[in-house]
Structure formats: C-alpha cells, structure tokens
Amino acid sequence: MAQTLQDFENLVNGKRIAARGGQWLDSYDPYRGEPWARIPRCAQSDVDDAVAAARAAFRSGPWPAMTPTERGKLLVRLAGLIERDAERLGRLETQDNGKLIAEMGAQTRYMAEWYRYFGGLADKIEGRVLPMDKPSRFTFTRHEPLGVVAMITAWNSPLLLLSWKLAAALAAGNTAVIKPSEHASVSTLEFVSLFEEAGFPPGVVNTVTGLGPDVGAALASHPDVAKVAFTGGDMTGQKIYEAGAPSLKRVSLELGGKSANIIFADANLDAAVMGAVSGIFAASGQTCIAGSRLLVHRSVHDEVVERLTEVARTAKMGNPAEPGTQVGPVTTQPQRAHILKMIEAGKADGARCVMGGGTPKDPAFAQGWFVEPTIFTGVSNDMRVARIEVFGPVLSIIAFDDDAEAIRIANDSPYGLASGLWTRDIGRAINASRAMESGTVWVNTYRAVSFMAPFGGYKRSGIGRESGQESIYEFLQTKTVWFETEESTSNPFIIR
C-alpha cells in the first residue's frame, strides 16, 4: 500500500502557504528509495510574493525600527529554541537526505551557536569617526544592511549551511528569502516556524521551494533582491553570478572542491588514516570539504593504503537513522548515477580500484541509494577522478616523492576549498600551509568547522567568507556621512 505523503508548506509573511499554482514536488527518503513528503513546487509569482514580503519587512514595521541589541536578543532566543528542537530537526534531515543521524543531529545542535555568536555580534558593528584631512569637516561611517538577501542552499547539510548565512544576515538587519534544495527542503520548512516563536516579525524570514532552474533562477535575478548567498555546485554558482549581473547584485558563493589531504612521511599514521577516513567516508563523501584526493609520501604509501582499507572495510553500512550506522545512502538517484559514472571513469583512466567500486551486493541495500566506499590507488592528477568533484564515497590516492611535488599536485586543481596536512614537522607544516591555494588548511586534523572561523573558497570554490566576525560585512554596506562645522561658503567650482 502506498505510504501517505506528508505535506510541508512555505512560510511567507508569517503565513503557511502552498504554491499559487497548486503544484507539489515529492521529497524522497534515500534509504527506502521512495517518496515520504511533498513540498510546494513554486513558480515566478510565488517568488514575487516572498520577495515582496521580505522587502516590506525590511522597509517598514517593527524590524527596521529594532535596535541591533534587540535583534541580537531575538537571535539568542532562537538559539535556545534550536537546541530544544535539534533532535527533531536532525531526524527530518536524515529522513530527507539520507545522511547519518549522528552527523545531522550533531549539526542541528551545533548550528545554535551561529545564532548566539552573531546575536552577540549584532550590536558590536561600529562605524568610525575619521581623523579627516579637512579640519572643518566631521565625517563618520556607519554599516547598514543591504535589504532582501536570497539564500539558495544545497541538500547535504541544509540547516547548518543555511545558518552560516542567515545568522549573519539577520544580525546585520537584513531580511531573507530562503530557497532550500528541492531534494531536502523539509527541515528548512519546519525550522522557520521557530522564528515566530522567538519573536521575529512576520516577513523577516520567508521560504520558497521548487526546482533550481525555475525558483532559484527567479530569485537570483529578482530586481528586489540585494544579495544572493549561495551554497552548491560551481556550475550553478556561475549561473547565479551571471543572473545577478544585470541588477549588479552582491553575490557570495560557497561552492564545491577537490580538496587535497596530504600525508607526509613523518606523520602520525594512526591519526592521519583516521583523518583520511573522516575526510571522505564520513558523509558518504557528500561534503564540499571532502578530502577526495589523498596525497601520500611514497615511503609510507603501502602502509597507509593497507590501514585505510582495513578501517574502511569495517565501516557499518545501513539505515542512517540508526546511531551505529557509519555509511548511509547517497541523497539522490542522479547523484548516485554520477558517482558510479566517476568510478567507471577512474577504472577506464587506469587507476587501480582496491576497494568497493560499485553498489553493494547485499540485497538489504537494494532499495536505497547506496554506493560502496571506494578506494583508487595509482591515480595521477590528470585523471577525471582527480579533477572532477565526485561528491560521493570515492577516494583517489596519489603518491608523491617530496614536499614540492605534493604542493604542486595539491594546487593543480580548479578548486581551492580546503586542504589537510599530516606532519610532525612544524616548519614543514607552516611552509606548506602558506603554499596551499585553499580557503582552509587543517594541520593534523580534518573537517573541522566553527562559527568563529571564516570559511570559503579560493579559485572555483567560491567568493566570500561565512562564519567568523568578518563575515558579517558580507551582509552590510558602508555609508559615509559628512558634516561641515563652519559657516563658510567655498568656491563651488572645485571639489570640496
């Protein structure tokens, strides 16, 4: 018997609504490979409604009249509500995107800290009184919000990645229209209810769901959107950049990667092997910061491969909703098809598949969208599996002979999101961290993030930074105010 699907509606101007056209999209449970919920399939008119609500809330009513301290208090109150509901939100994410409850639950709990941190920062954004080269002028700067910020997000960590944008944007005084991924919208639709409970005025946070090329594109080109903050693939990021160009929108882009995780000969191999596993298999590889290229010094190469396959082989595949599961399904069918195609490309290009290499044979996993954890050795950096983002549990191991070669290979990529260095030599760590063309470098750790630590990409991995104090300026613009303090009339035909 077909399962009854739960309907989740958008939030616009404080009201729950379906799409104007009455259309819906199914949302799938990747573990069962079947739909479990429906979300509104919106169109341009729905985007217009959501943007109009956000624009009205930005321009009039209680939100623009609030002091930064009041806005900060709302964000801190919201953080408490998130902690109360973190487990429920984490379970929704697991059902919708198939990632482990251990991971999604940890993310939904941790995301509260972004609201607390930026809530605290809201009233510490100070302008400056300028010393001025013109003595009769009193001149100061102030930082003002931009207006309506569109937030378009990916399916892999829906609420955490949204929070990196939303907490800073609201602390700065903007309003928001959120377009979550069509593959995992449910947690966002449930989460936004907490804003009303925390006391945010209606219209400050709105959602619009649907397909990227319809709703995402309409939002990215909307003339009343001041900025688009995006997380997703680099090709989509490029389209968003182009869509925003005619209205000169600000754009910040958190895009994909092909991050190099480098194990030097002097590394603590126990820690390095665990770091390599967490870099690629933790979220079935569905993380922008996946350490998908493992560069290993030739002298320890065979030992690392042996230890790594030993750990990866014992990883427990199963239902992502069970706390003991270590490898869950991948989120979408097209994504699984892409991963399997990349595995075939690795084989065809001459890499050696030493583990995995397809879908699991166990019939228990036949229905869900599983891919085996896969390890390639003998990879050279020009193979497709080393150049294209797989976004799945596929590790490419590349051997190197000296530091210069490791750095050259690591930087020989169109991407530059993150990198990892495993060494006990402090000089080597400092020199290599300086040489890495990536927005984040981890030394003797991997896949660590914090609300305090700026995050973003070099090269095709993105524009702008999220998290950390400086990221709030991505959502602010500077106004300079001039006063003349003397009653003099100067020559109007020369610059004053």
| Beta strands across the sheet bearing 227-231 | 205-207, 175-179, 148-152, 227-231, 250-254, 462-463
161 touches ligand NAD (CB under 6 A): yes
Query: How far is Cα 374 from Cα 353, in angstroms, rounded to an integer?
Result: 7
In angstroms, give the least distance from the CB of 301 to ligand NAD: 27
194 touches ligand NAD (CB under 6 A): no
In angstroms, give the least distance from the CB of 478 to ligand NAD: 26
Question: Would you say 212 or 373 has its CB closer to ligand NAD?
Answer: 212
Choosing from 35, 61, 80, 233, the residue that interacts with ligand NAD (CB under 6 A) is 233
3-state secondary structure of 144: strand
Closest residue by Cα to residue 36 from 314, 368, 358: 368
Choosing from 42, 86, 154, 273, the residue that interacts with ligand NAD (CB under 6 A) is 154
149 half-sphere exposure, CB direction, 13 A CA radius: 29
Token pair, residue 454, equals 């700026």
**Which residue in this structure is represented by tokens 């609500």?**
53
Question: Would you say 248 or 495 has its CB closer to ligand NAD?
Answer: 248
Question: Would you say 220 or 305 has its CB closer to ligand NAD?
Answer: 220
User: In the stretch 453-472, what mask flags binding to ligand NAD with x, by CB under 6 A?
Assistant: ----x----x----------
Question: Would you say 145 or 256 has its CB closer to ligand NAD?
Answer: 256
Q: How far is CA 277 from CA 31, 85, 383, 414, 439, in A?
A: 22, 30, 22, 24, 21
Residue 239 CA from chain centroid, whole number: 17
3-state secondary structure of 290: coil
Q: Which of 288, 437, 466, 474 is catalytic?
A: 288
41 touches ligand NAD (CB under 6 A): no
156 touches ligand NAD (CB under 6 A): yes
Choosing from 17, 101, 169, 217, the residue that interacts with ligand NAD (CB under 6 A) is 217
Query: How far is Cα 470 from Cα 473, in angstroms, rounded to an integer?
Result: 6
213 touches ligand NAD (CB under 6 A): yes
254 is catalytic: yes
User: In the stretch 284-323, what mask flags binding to ligand NAD with x, by CB under 6 A?
Assistant: ----x-----------------------------------
Residue 462 falls in which region: left (phi positive, over 0), alpha (psi -120 to 50) or beta:
left
For the chain, what is the radius of gyration of the CA atoms? 24
Residues found near ligand NAD in the complex (CB under 6 A): 152-156, 161, 179, 181-182, 212-213, 216-217, 220, 231-233, 236, 239-240, 254-257, 288, 389, 391, 417, 457, 462
List residues with catalytic annotation. 254, 288
